[in-house]
Structure 1
Amino acid sequence: MVLVSSTPDASLYVPRFNAMDAGGVRPFVDAVATAQLVTVGEDGIPDATFLPVLWDGDRLVGHLARANPHWRRIVDGSPALAIVTGPDAYVSPSWYATKREHGKVVPTWNYSVVHLRGRITVHDDATWVRGLVTRLTDRHESARDEPWAVTDAPADYVEKNLRPIVGVEVVVESVEAKAKLSQNRSDADRAGVATGLVADGRDADGLVAP
């Protein structure tokens, strides 16, 4: 797998100071645990679906509702893009310390995003889908005092609820990761952004570079 952060031909615009630390990319995707899956049908029309995901090795896996026509339009082996987004927030220029010094400031937006690209395969197979749902459940239940497991429900009920979903798997070929968190501002400006976010009722953690 190739990790791409700021190459000139990358599809995600990543200035050097906004490149996410390579070691933080997988933890970021794991923490968000959802993505917008984007593919293009044979007719050239793009489709996008929000879905829960797991990134294991070089595979990003998830599932769609069977009633969603998106999966039927996917051509196995065709390119796919999964967009994983973190918290985002408007940044007012009034929060910058430098506003009081020279007034040469403008609004912006802080955010973090990861783009995973690769080839996609549809898995309309009950065994594969059950394995995925089990892994997703274990991932999100493991920290609970009394975690729920797929096996807690009656087997026939589980089978009934597996039929309305279809699995998808993207073999990840490239990763582009961006964290635009005021890294290009001074310490005083970043502190001002953090204070402003809190005053707006936002948690500044993850929205401003330390």
Structure 2
Amino acid sequence: MYVPPAFAETDLTALHAFIAAHPFALLITADPAGGAPLATPLPLIVVPEEGANGTLYGHFAKPNPHGNAVFTAPSRAVFQGPDAYISPGWYPSKQAHGKAVPTWNYSVVDCVGQAEPITEPDAMRALLSQLTAKFEGHRAEPWSLSDAPESYIAAMLKGITAFKLPITAITGKRKLSQNRPAEDIDGVIAGLRGETDPKAYAVAEAMANRP
């Protein structure tokens, strides 16, 4: 991923927090048969303390051919936050010299690693429990694996391909107008807050709260 220095996010804790906040990734792996790369959108959880850069965990539906290919070559997991179109009309500097063009603001974390299979039933069950706990934990009555019949869960475990992916390289990019003058940044924040798209407002907040 191309990352100009102004947009680089290198703090590992911040990168892990971004993944935790935006867990729905696009996982990409080369096709062992030589075709186009395989890509699957799926939720992944990160365990920061496992490995030098953390470890990702997830699973495929068993019929998905990507579930076999993922163990044959390194994969790339791309986590994206909110994004928004940036109008040059929001730049006060445009009024002075007119030298402005449209662009796009966004945040993304790119992880690379070699997936390893998880086949032991207790480990697979633990993975599913972690996933459900993450996404159900905020509910007044969170669903858990124990809510379903044991025989049903056992059958479901046979229908997935579980894996872990130790992260060998992690790259973060926050393109939030850092290359613009302060007055242009303020203009973009105001412009985004005036849009009706919730993603635009989220980008404005990311810009306003950037360290």
Alignment of 1:186-205 (within 5 A): 186-201=181-196, 202-203=200-201, 204-205=204-205
How far 1:126 sits from its partner (Å)? 3.5
- Deviations 1:12-46, CA, capped at 9 Å, x for gaps: 11111101150311100010012111111322331
**Rounded Cα–Cα distance in structure 2 between residues aligned with 1:208 and 1:83:** 24
Contact 1:36/1:82 (8 A) holds in 2: yes
Q: Counterpart of 2:153 in structure 1: which amino acid? A: V
- Report SS of the residue matched to 1:205: helix
Which residue pairs with 2:6 in the alignment? 17
**Rounded Cα–Cα distance in structure 2 between residues aligned with 1:70 and 1:79:** 12
Taking only aligned residues, the RMSD between alpha carbons, in angstroms, comes to 1.8
Q: Taking structure 1 as the reference length, what is the TM-score of the superposition?
A: 0.87
**Rounded Cα–Cα distance in structure 2 between residues aligned with 1:28 and 1:88:** 14
Is 1:54 aligned to residue 49 of structure 2? no
How far 1:101 sits from its partner (Å)? 1.5
Equivalenced residue count is 198
Contact 2:71/2:114 (8 A) holds in 1: no
Q: Counterpart of 1:188 in structure 2: which amino acid? A: E
Alignment of 1:1-210 (within 5 A): 12-22=1-11, 23-45=13-35, 46-56=37-47, 57=50, 58-76=54-72, 78-201=73-196, 202-203=200-201, 204-206=204-206, 210=210
How far 1:125 sits from its partner (Å)? 4.6
More helix by share: 2
- Deviations 1:139-176, CA, capped at 9 Å, x for gaps: 11222222221112221222233332211221111111
**Rounded Cα–Cα distance in structure 1 between residues aligned with 2:68 and 2:144:** 30
Task: Specify whether residues 208 and 104 from structure 1 end up closer, same or farther in structure 2 by C-alpha distance, changes over 3 A only.
Answer: farther
**Rounded Cα–Cα distance in structure 1 between residues aligned with 2:26 and 2:117:** 16
Contact 2:29/2:75 (8 A) holds in 1: yes
Task: Specify whether residues 24 and 88 from structure 1 end up closer, same or farther in structure 2 by C-alpha distance, changes over 3 A only.
Answer: same
Unaligned runs of 5+ in 1: 1-11
Contact 2:15/2:172 (8 A) holds in 1: yes
**Rounded Cα–Cα distance in structure 2 between residues aligned with 1:125 and 1:41:** 26
